[in-house]
A = this chain, B = another copy of it.
Amino acid sequence: MAEPDFTAYIDRIEAEVERDLPALPPSLSHVGDMMRYSLAGGGKRIRPLLTLLFCEAAGGDPENALPFAAAVEYVHTYSLIHDDLPCMDNDDVRRGKPSSHVRFGEANALLAGDALLTHAFAAVAKAAETGKVPAENAVAAVRELSLLAGAPGMVGGQYLDLKNEGGGSDADSLLEMDSLKTGALIEAACVLGLLAAGAPEPLFMPARKFARALGLAFQIKDDLIEYEDENDLSDEKNEKSTYITGFGAAEAARLAADYTRQAVDAISAFGEKGETLAALAAALLDRKS
């Protein structure tokens, strides 16, 4: 299978994210700058890309899914800003530049994250207000994004991650934590794509299965990349459990491949239209960074 090229999609996502940020008076322009700082540069845009690709795989016009894609990217970016804060993972660097709190101070970083999370829902609403998506589907998108990003989803996963930071968590705990911390927002990204397309009900469960398997493959691959990159020892510093400490590198690599296969199998419900998604899953397993 040829390496897929998603440049055109990603350009459209980045244009939408920029265009869609809230208009702010001069006294608040710095808040907009802080939101832009963390949104800009270096992100792989996997989640919003999934939103567009699922919309397309369900027969929709990916243009209609752009506001949903932006919403998912806002939520992802807020989660990075808050996770980097000193009281959380205390990471000084994000995507090769100073993290938000290092650049702007802790209080401002907290607010920039809050602003991005809040704005995500305006972006979802915008899809209905501009007629791209029926109001009922935008409401469903709000609910999915809220539950999958909130306490029952991503926030819950971050809570478990913090709780486990002392190490000693077993394999099942790791899988539960990552299903929530990484998998839930990926699931939201895929489901929002289907909602933008007005996809029929039977496509939702395969998309969720794809997302959950891909989320785990993605996180395990992240751990493998980090393990191979001797320069980044931040998780070891925190004595955090990873798939490497839990299973060993060889078994972790096998698991990542296995979950990728599960994701590809799940997507068969989309027939030929799912091929791009299968190619994306394979490319993510092969990535070097």
Q: Which of A183-215 contact B (CB under 8 A)?
A: none
Query: Interface stretch among A22-30, A38-46, A241-249?
Result: A22-30
Q: Which of A52-110 contact B (CB under 8 A)?
A: 82, 85, 87-88, 105-108, 110
* Cβ-based interface call for A266 (8 A): no
Asked, given contacts A31-B159, A106-B87, whether A136 binds B128 with beta carbons under 8 Å apart, the answer is yes
* Cβ-based interface call for A254 (8 A): no
Inter-chain contacts of A151 with B (CB < 8 A)? 22, 24, 28, 31-32, 35, 115, 118-119
* Cβ-based interface call for A160 (8 A): yes
Inter-chain contacts of A160 with B (CB < 8 A)? 27-28
Evaluate contact between B85 and A147: CB separation under 8 angstroms: no
* Distance between A133 CB and nearest chain B CB, rounded to angstroms: 9
Evaluate contact between B122 and A143: CB separation under 8 angstroms: yes
Evaluate contact between A159 and B121: CB separation under 8 angstroms: no
Evaluate contact between B87 and A107: CB separation under 8 angstroms: yes
Per-position binary interface string of chain A over residues 148-175, scored 1 when its CB falls under 8 Å from any chain B CB and 0 otherwise: 0111100110111010000000000000
Chain A, interface residues (CB within 8 Å), range: 35 or more
* Distance between A158 CB and nearest chain B CB, rounded to angstroms: 6
* Distance between A169 CB and nearest chain B CB, rounded to angstroms: 11
Most central of A31, A150, A151, A160 by chain B CB within 10 Å: A151
* Cβ-based interface call for A233 (8 A): no
Most central of A23, A87, A155 by chain B CB within 10 Å: A155
Inter-chain contacts of A152 with B (CB < 8 A)? 22-25, 28
* Cβ-based interface call for A129 (8 A): yes
Inter-chain contacts of A49 with B (CB < 8 A)? none
A to B CB contacts below 8 Å, 7 in the list: A24-B151, A28-B156, A28-B159, A28-B160, A31-B156, A85-B110, A118-B150
Since A119-B146, A121-B143 are in contact, a sample of 10 more A-B pairs with Cβ atoms closer than 8 Å, ordered by chain A residue number, is A28-B152, A114-B117, A114-B150, A115-B151, A118-B149, A118-B150, A121-B142, A124-B142, A125-B146, A129-B139
